[in-house]
Structure 1
Amino acid sequence: VVYSAALLLGPGVTRRRRDDRKVFPPAAHIPGPKDELRPAGQLANMDAGLEHVERLLQRDVTRHIEGCLTEAKASTLHCQMLLLPRQMLAKVGQDVVRSSADEPCGLRGASITVHVDCKDGLKFVGSIFLDQRVTPTFELSVIFKADKDDGWPSLKHIFDSNKVLKLRPEYRLVKRKLYSSASPVIHDFN
């Protein structure tokens, strides 16, 4: 696993208030039975459009999660540097978008909470509401796992263990439907 210093934004960067967040446009058209009558080229263009919308959603979710982690570095996680595997946030964003695909409002109907499982327990680092106009229909909890060992023995003299927090490549997504008695769905990713 290759680790990179994440969250280049320093402690002076502030998160936007909840009411200032970017609002997503209405959901893209999903092909239905009438679309089968269209020429194949138009369906291919619609598929490409849906993939583009998914990439934009993934990028936006990734930025919001990064903002939560950046804000929590000093205040909640009590570290100066947060290390995580390269491309981990992009993968998390992709999994969040995929897990919301079967919901009525898609990702717009999500209430996303971000947590880090540290040595001293689960720490809440932030919430994300992508569209203030939509009442959340489900909650996604993203749980990152901190490396709980005492640091890297060969590099311990370089880094003060209180200043560096290293996240493991494993993380968990917990999906709860807010208006249903169904049990939460838990997905563990490596």
Structure 2
Amino acid sequence: MVATSTLKTKNSECITELPGQTRFGKDSDFWDACLAEPQRSADLCEERTCRQLAQMFEGVLSRAKRPTLHCSSVLVPERLTRRIARQVLRLASGEPCGLRGCVFYIHLELDEGVKRLERVTYDAAVVPTFELTLVFKQDGAAWPSLRDFLFLGSCFAPKSRRVLRLSPGFRLIKKKLYSSSAGTEVEEC
């Protein structure tokens, strides 16, 4: 599990300059490097984008801890955000503007219902062509902490739970915005 309490993120409403961009020295040119090894460059770009998406999802969870989820930390299965990022890239690959035309709606499915966490526009300069709704799921098999168990139902019950554990499963819902036959795809992972 990866705890999201150590992440430091900035405003996620618009991601215009993504972190971790590769910079080339004075002697080499970016396009020469891309032309020399196009497959390697595409793989590096996809891996970097996947890593940035994973960080974005973890940032959303981290920002939602106290105000929305009422917990002190969120435990995320180790490769969950990477798996989600790969699925997002796969779904965006057939779109006219690719990932740049995406608007994310990120939710968390809890025992009490579904909570909306955040809306993220990947590139505000591009008119959105599709929406992706990501639904994280709470791990229902996780045991409550002893503290939560002892205070459950008493007048000393804590107002917030200490730890929220996410399930390795998630749901992605894709909705196209540009076509008259706009359909909805639902992927349960």
Query: What band does the TM-score fall into relative to the shorter chain?
Result: 0.7 to 0.9
1:7 aligned residue: 4
1:18-33 matches, within 5 Å, as: 18-19=13-14, 21-23=15-17
Q: CA deviation at 1:14?
A: 6.0
1:178 aligns with 2:177: yes
- Give the fraction of aligned pairs with identical amino acids, expressed as a percent: 34
Kept in 2, the 8 Å contact 1:113–1:127? The answer is yes
**Could you say which residue in structure 2 is the equivalent of 1:45?**
37
Find the aligned partners of 2:123 and 2:140 in 1 and give their Cα distance: 35
Q: Which secondary structure does the structure 2 equivalent of 1:57 belong to?
A: helix
Q: Which position in structure 2 is the counterpart of 1:39?
A: none
Give structure 2 stretches of 5+ with no counterpart. 19-33, 150-160
RMSD of equivalent CA atoms? 2.3
Give, as a single letter, the amino acid of the residue that structure 1 aligns with 2:140.
K
Count of equivalent residues: 162
Distance 2:123 2:162 in 1: 35
Tell me, yes or no, if structure 1 residue 145 matches structure 2 residue 133.
no
Corresponding position of 1:116: 108
Q: Which residue of 2 aligns with 1:95?
A: 87
Q: Is the 8 Å Cα contact of residues 64 and 128 (structure 1) preserved in structure 2?
A: no
Task: Normalising by structure 2, report the TM-score.
Answer: 0.77
Q: Distance in 2 between matches of 1:23 and 1:109?
A: 15
1:160 aligns with 2:148: yes
Q: 1:22 to 1:63 in 2, by over 3 A?
A: farther
Q: Which amino acid aligns with 2:143?
A: W
What code does the residue aligned with 1:178 have?
L
Write the deviation string for residues 125-173 of structure 1: whole angstroms up to 9, x where unpaired.
Answer: 1122221110110001111111235x416xx32x537211111111011
Match among 70, 75, 78 for residue 62 of structure 2: 70
How high is the TM-score relative to the length of structure 1?
0.76
Contact 1:5 1:81 in 2 (8 A): no
Shift >4 Å, 4+ stretches: none
Q: Contact between 1:66 and 1:89, CA under 8 Å: does it hold in 2?
A: yes
The corresponding residue for 2:152 is: none
Shift in Å at residue 58 of structure 1? 0.8
Shift of residue 44 of structure 1?
8.1
